[in-house]
Amino acid sequence: MGNRRRAAAFSHATQAVSGPTAETIKTAGRKHSICMVSDFFYPNMGGVESHIYLLSQCLIEKGHKVVVVTHAYGHRKGVRYLTNGLKVYYLPLQVMYNQSTTTTFFHSMPLLRCVFVRERITVVHSHSSFSAMAHDALFHAKTMGLNTVFTDHSLFGFADVSSVLTNKLLTVSLCDTNHIVCVSYTSKENTVLRAALDPEIVSVIPNAVEHGDFTPDPSQRNNDRITIVVISRLVYRKGIDLLSGIIPELCLKHPDLHFLIGGEGPKRLVLEEVREKYQLHDRVRLLGPLEHKDVRGVLVQGHIFLNTSLTEAFCMAIVEGASCGLQVVSTRVGGIPEVLPEDLITLCEPTVQSLCAGLETVIARQRSGSVSTPASVHARVRNLYTWRNVAERTEKVYDRVCGEEVLPLDRRLRRLRTHCGPVAGSIFAFVAVLDFLFLLFLQWWLPDRLMDLAADASGPFGLWRQEASESKSKAPSKRGGQ
Amino acid sequence: MEDEAYTDINGNPISLDCQKHCSFCREFTVSSPKMSIGKVMGYTCAVWLAAYAVFFITANTAVLTGAILFTLLGMMLHIHLVKVDHESVLVIGSLGIQVSSSYASGRETSTFIEMSQVKDVVINEAIYMHQIIYYLCILLKDPSAPDDVSRVVPLFQSSRPRLNCLVKVYKSCQEILSNC
């Protein structure tokens, strides 16, 4: 099963998302105005944030207009521009927990409507199921009759109370969303089950890695010893407890083994304890929090990359590790088996014994010198996941979505009540009606014609690009004039 | 020289008056409509009716006196501190920019910014209440660090004209600023 799925992932990596329909062909080549909504964006750091940023950059390169909407981070409020005219709205909404905003279903409506109207948005693309703002935006966009896309970045359980509740919310939020994107086939299965979706409207588009930033450099390695690199947040989900079991066991067997651990989190204490107990201060180095630009510098010092995650939708870290030419050892959980071809990764069960056995074989291989060179590993990985490919496939999703109709209110209510159960369905149908009435009130209170349309920074009429090309041709004369 | 109808961000009509005193001196005045007698009557009636209702229940005449004093004082403070009739920006090339606003009561305030402090005049976007609006502002610089913006002075803060009006003022301002 796993093998088949993995094989499918690779053949899909270069293929279209799904068979293009007649509508897709008709709308292909059209330029969209896309609004990316998520609670998570820079200056916060993480996978979702860089995904949104890099995907937006590639879509702008393809001539679409992209706007990002997120909540205010401290003093960073209002409107900002990033590279290539990527416009970011930092809306002043209250942050509740873990950088996610509160949701009341209504209070974010006036500002989001303002953004959608003044930017002439055609597609609303929300990211991450942890983000309340993303769900709010989906809800309002559907009320306003805009096409919606949702990208899920994480895996979820089914058993405990919190996941039961989140899954119900996800069902409500996604039952009338036009299209859903997942980052791996495991994640797709998970999302389809959690939200009771039709698998037809769920596409798989993996993440990508900036391979230019992750090039191997064997000269940085110290070949007298073998270095294992671990880069992850030091939290329970990333299996740091497993790591604390592996370190003493392997360090006793191999005196030339060194660990290099980058990242910060509550589980750092566990690792420090282990280091203290077994007197491994010279062999286990804890680097603390790393900035993204420093990650490569750490990766190239190692021979083996170790990932001990307990759950993972799509592991970017192992691709980055492989891209730097390291041997990758990882747990066989979530979407990880799909990510890399079999000969580039050693998969183990998420137990200390299995991971130790896996590491032993790789260490033995490393000693005998029978591993492929970093350059050849890099060459194989670099074409597997590129942002351009991700952008192309996302573009196809937009083309398809734009050909679909947004459900009018009566059919949306029927869909909510049939898909989400009698109780939750009725409650959310009521909320949808209220949202619609609120929209009518806002349209009366502040009509669309009173909102000034924003000047496009990116897209077909983007001022940024014209200016850039102009300044390129006129640069000398302009400088002379000043 | 007025040919376009301008409105503020809430759709109320405003008028823009551009005066060219000489080639390097221009004055822009944005005037909001006068306070309407209907609105004043409406508010006064509302307060008095509420006071009368309270009086009807409590039979205390102090409520009525309080309501009358409240409306009178409220009106006076409103025209003296809140209601702005005209806002004007006087740009004099090589000398500076004077920003002044005159209140309905006749009170006037003005500030003058020297040209050596002015970095630029730009149109910016801001989140205001529950909307996102454009506004015109003067960027100030510190003479010691001429590349940084030390402070931002927003213009037309009470009348809040829409983009078409701002663009017109912006273009005229830039004509003068680029020549000095």
Q: CB of B163 within 8 Å of any CB in chain A?
A: yes
Cα–Cα distances (Å) from A199 to A56, A178, A180, A204, B59, in that order, read: 26, 12, 9, 11, 71
ipTM: 0.89
Interface of A with B in 427-446 (CB under 8 A): 446
pLDDT at A475: 35
Residue B46 neighbours by CB under 8 Å, 6+ apart: none
Q: CB of A91 within 8 Å of any CB in chain B?
A: yes
Do the chains contact at B126 and A110, CB–CB below 8 Å? no
Do the chains contact at A91 and B127, CB–CB below 8 Å? yes
- Supply the pTM of this predicted model: 0.85
pLDDT at A468: 58
- DSSP-H helix ranges across B31-93: 37-58, 62-77
* Cβ A155 vs Cβ A313: under 8 Å: yes
Name the band, by pLDDT with cuts 50, 70 and 90, for residue A169.
confident
Task: Choose the mutation target among A67, A90, A442, A450 for the interface with B, i.e. most B CBs under 10 Å.
Answer: A450
Q: CB of A77 within 8 Å of any CB in chain B?
A: yes
Instruction: Please give the average per-residue pLDDT across A251-260, as a whole number.
Output: 92
* Cβ A307 vs Cβ A230: under 8 Å: yes
Task: Choose the mutation target among B132, B134, B135, B167 for the interface with A, i.e. most A CBs under 10 Å.
Answer: B132
What mean pLDDT, rounded, does chain A reach? 86
Q: CB of A450 within 8 Å of any CB in chain B?
A: yes
Q: CB of A78 within 8 Å of any CB in chain B?
A: yes
Do the chains contact at B9 and A118, CB–CB below 8 Å? no
Do the chains contact at A111 and B132, CB–CB below 8 Å? yes
Q: How far is B148 from chain A (nearest CA, A)?
A: 17
Residue extents of the structural domains in chain B: 6-33+86-178, 37-81
- Check pLDDT > 60 for residue A478: no
Do the chains contact at A114 and B163, CB–CB below 8 Å? no
Name the band, by pLDDT with cuts 50, 70 and 90, for residue A218.
confident
- Check pLDDT > 80 for residue A1: no
Q: Tokens in use for A410?
A: 């009566």
Instruction: Please give the average per-residue pLDDT across B102-107, as a whole number.
Output: 92
Cα–Cα distances (Å) from A373 to A326, A379, A382, in that order, read: 9, 10, 14
Q: CB A337: neighbour CB atoms within 10 A?
A: 21
- Check pLDDT > 70 for residue A466: no
Domains of chain A by range and CATH? Answer: 31-208+389-470 (3.40.50.2000), 212-385 (3.40.50.2000)
pLDDT in tens, A331-348: 999 889 999 999 899 999
Q: What is the DSSP letter of B151?
A: E
